[in-house]
Amino acid sequence: MDEFKKPTPKEFSEMLKAIGFVDSTHKYEFFYIERDLVKHKQFDEELDIHNEDNNT
């Protein structure tokens, strides 16, 4: 089920651009990502740590 892992913020941004979103929406992208990470933190702590490692 690896294909259903949540995207990193960078990957999410690229997906939005691919379907027609533009850079001016970036504030909204990260607002939704941050809200989603907080909402699911108890389920996704390992994945969140993995994503942070990829972004450094």
pLDDT digits (tens, 9 = 90+) for 19-45: 776 655 455 555 555 555 555 555 555
Q: What is the mean pLDDT of the chain?
A: 63
Helix, strand or coil, per DSSP, at residue 10: helix
CA 27 to CA 20: how far, in whole Å?
16
The domain locations on the chain are 2-54
CA 44 to CA 29: how far, in whole Å?
19
Share of the chain above pLDDT 70, in %: 30
By CB atoms closer than 10 A (0-12, 13-18, 19+), residue 29 is middle
The 10s digit of each residue's pLDDT in 9-18 is 888 878 777 7
